[in-house]
Amino acid sequence: MLQFGKFERPATVEEALALLQKNKANRILGGGVWLRLQDRRIPCVIDLSACGLDRIELDDDRGAWRIGAMVTLHQLECHEDFNASTCGVFEAAVCDIVGVQMRNLATVGGSLYGRFGFSDILTALLPLGCEVELAGAGTVPLAEFATAKAYERDILTHLVVPAHADLTAAFICVRRQSTDFSVLNVAAARVGGAWSVAVGARPARAVLVGSDALGLPATFGAGATPARVAEDGSVVPAILSDEDAAALEGALDAFAALTFGDNMRASKRYRRHLARELGRRAILEASGLAAPIAPAEPAFRAAAGEDHASAAAEARDGLGGSTLGFSANAALDAAKEADAC
């Protein structure tokens, strides 16, 4: 059972930071979604709901959205201007997270501060060039925050998302069933011709693959023939130039070279197979080429190489693990990774 020694609701972030740093066992309370599943005693839990961190604002001077840590996932999911400015990647990332009731509890700050391996939110935001504002350390790139351990005793107060006029982006994931955690998720973004792609739920936390590693040209997709739906209902794939097709294959090789692991949802071999396919679709969708989503059997049979074919066969036989949705056991497994969401 979860127990609190003291419950504090400070009026300012400065007061909250002072309370947090009094005892290394003290914790910030976000939405409490994962914290409530833990069996522990916390000396002091600190509620930020009185600190004015529940607003979504467009900062014209910075050319960026400034989102308070206590904004809920559903608030941001339903913000039309924000979604239009970011190509709808956040909405796409959170729309299948359990249900609206949970998304009305879970907060942006808690979801990011946890840096969970299963997070769709971290994956969706990483390629957008976001920053986080911390009460002690100041403004830090999200990509740095996601990997560093230097901010464990700090408070995330705001998420800053650039409002790029030339942004194109897409988020794609595979779930074993609706509302379950992602087996793998991918987000791709292009700003000013520079590409970046995040791959998450590996099942380790999301990693960002930068423009240099991807090797995609700034003009990728220019002059290509977009995918289309034929009269018989089948999807005709996009047709790329030889140069773009070769560049895309190089980017997919970079995804496959990432580190993947096994868990109850899938094997690392299947995740590596998915990384190539979801990476392809995300890049083509972000390019406006509408990558086709073919039926599973033909797509798997067309996969090149023995590893891809055997991984696809494993996927058809059960995705490498037992079939579980968002059950109590799955939630408890996730809660083991959670600390202050």
Peptide bond into 203 cis (omega under 30): yes
Which pLDDT score is estimated for 211?
A: 94
129, 191 Cβ separation under 8 angstroms: yes
Which pLDDT score is estimated for 57?
A: 97
Question: Residue 316 pLDDT > 60, yes or no?
Answer: no
Question: Residue 322 pLDDT > 90, yes or no?
Answer: no
Question: Residue 230 pLDDT > 90, yes or no?
Answer: no
Candidates 113, 134, 108; CA nearest to 16 is 134
Q: What's the mean per-residue pLDDT of the chain?
A: 85
Alpha-carbon 266 to chain mean position: 18
Domain 175-318 sits in which CATH superfamily? CO dehydrogenase flavoprotein, C-terminal domain (3.30.390.50)
Per-residue pLDDT tens digits for 31-56: 888 777 778 899 999 999 999 999 99
Per-residue pLDDT tens digits for 48-87: 999 999 999 999 999 999 999 999 999 999 999 999 999 9
- What percentage of the chain reaches a pLDDT higher than 70? 85
Which pLDDT score is estimated for 337?
A: 46
Read off the pLDDT band of 20 (50, 70, 90): very high
Structure tokens at 16: 């909250």
Strand partners, 140: 132
Fold (CATH) for 56-165: 3.30.465
Which pLDDT score is estimated for 307?
A: 53
If one compares 2 and 24, the residue with the highest pLDDT of the two is: 24
Please enumerate, as own/partner, the contacts of 23-28 that have beta carbons within 8 Å and a separation of 24 or more.
24/153, 27/339, 27/340, 28/110, 28/113, 28/155, 28/340
Per-residue pLDDT tens digits for 293-306: 544 443 333 333 44
Mean pLDDT of 170-187: 93
Which pLDDT score is estimated for 231?
A: 84
Which pLDDT score is estimated for 233?
A: 80
Angle between helices 306-318 and 268-286 (to 10 degrees): 100
Could you tell me the residue ranges of all domains in the chain?
Answer: 3-47, 56-165, 175-318
- What percentage of the chain reaches a pLDDT higher than 90? 69
